[in-house]
Amino acid sequence: MPSYKYQVKNARGEVQSGVLSADSASGAAAVLRNQGSHVLQISPASSDDQPGLSQRLRELNSGKPTQRHVLDFTTQLAVMIRAGINLRAALDGIADQTEHVGFKKVIQQLKNDVESGKQFSEAIARHPKLFGPLYVNMVRASELSGSFSEMLDRIAGYIAQEIETRKMVIGASIYPGVIATMAVGVTAFLLTFVLPKFKSVFKGKEDALPWATNFLMGVSDFIVANWMWCIGGVGGVFIGLFVFAKTEVGGFFFDKLKLGVPVVRAMFKALYISRSLQTMGQLINAGVPMLDTLAITGDISGNRLYKNMWRTVYGNVKQGKKIAQPLNRTTLLPRAVTQMISAGEESGKLGEVLDEISTYYAKQLRERIKAVTSMIEPIMIIIMGSVVGFIAMAIILPIFRMSQVVG
């Protein structure tokens, strides 16, 4: 859609200028007149106004906008709206202060859409990768209720907690990942560089060697002779698992696995319960319709099993049943949580109850992450020590026997 520069005089007699997107110049003029402005000048945006090569390079180097940028944007917008600044001026001011080229472009597009007569919820809905359904629906609800700045504060709090939760989960997985990488690296080094050095020492004595030494020597010979195929095979396995995880069947398998592995299932369960109930509570308190709330909750839960559970609840509520009825038949939520949801539903304070439950499980999640980290550390160390120790003994034991024979 082409862009047009304009200059208008508003109802107060002030001259304003800017850029908006429209199908044609007459369409752009019609949009401006519908806003109550007198059009003074309108013309196509020149190529100088379009992003040049240097700007495109800066945009590529700055990377994609993240949820941290959305959080900063939401916080600033809430403060400016609460200070009495109108939405267009607030977006203009935030765009000027934003250093990230890609996100600056997004804010400018939001400003252009608002200037063309779109609601803010419509404008952000055009950027679903940054502003998800929860963000859009909460903003839409605030536009109807007139509590825009308060809703932005609530959204910012939600995003901040999501970022913190994601950071904790990623942090908990870094240490095991580092240890596992070191274990694989050390094992590969011993098999490909250390063991071949002893081949000449053990030559002609294969029958007298322990089975462990013969086994490792065979593995070492195979890896050295076929190292390209081994690397390709390992890479193929990882790529295959990645592609499989992207399918519906593979995604369901791994989502079920997360809730089945003894060491981490409690952590993941707390994560999905906290995220689901926090989302649901925020939407209910914002005044979003219940069916929309349940649909969004399922999409944001982060696990296909929980998504199916909320879809089942959606179907029951659509038929006029209560939320707690289908939840009583699932094992994904503790019975105590279901009972509290039922009590909140009966008392008309479901949003408050869900906020309290999600806060409790957010605390449980932090505790579970610490517990998982403390459990995985010694397990990974034991596994790494066992592998390296096995290889070391397979090398040392025959040398020790040979020295006894010589002695």
Segment 199-215, tens digit of pLDDT: 777 777 767 777 888 88
Element (H, E) at 34: helix 25-34
Q: In terms of Cα–Cα distance, which of 407, 17, 2, 406 is closest to 205?
A: 406
Query: pLDDT tens digits for 58-82?
Result: 555 557 888 899 999 999 999 988 8
Residue 130 contacts residue 123 (beta carbons within 8 Å): no
Q: What is the pLDDT of residue 236?
A: 94
Q: What is the pLDDT of residue 308?
A: 93
DSSP-based three-state secondary structure for 41: strand
Integer Cα distance of 39 and 43 in angstroms: 11
What is this structure's pTM?
Answer: 0.72
Q: How far apart are the first and last CA of the chain?
A: 89
Q: What is the pLDDT of residue 47?
A: 45
Angle, CA 351 vertex, CA 348 and CA 355 arms, to 5°? 140
Integer Cα distance of 203 and 216 in angstroms: 14
Average pLDDT for runs of 10 along the chain of length 407: 72 75 74 77 57 52 80 91 87 87 89 85 90 89 82 90 84 79 84 81 73 84 88 92 91 92 87 90 88 90 91 91 88 90 89 90 87 81 83 80 60
Q: What is the pLDDT of residue 7?
A: 74
Q: What is the pLDDT of residue 373?
A: 80
Angle, CA 385 vertex, CA 186 and CA 224 arms, to 5°? 30
Report which DSSP code applies to 2: -
CB burial string 143-169: b at 16+ within 10 A, e below: eeeeebbebbbbbbebbebbeebeebe
Dihedral (Cα; 342, 347, 350, 352), 10-degree rounding:
-130
Angle, CA 42 vertex, CA 38 and CA 47 arms, to 5°? 155
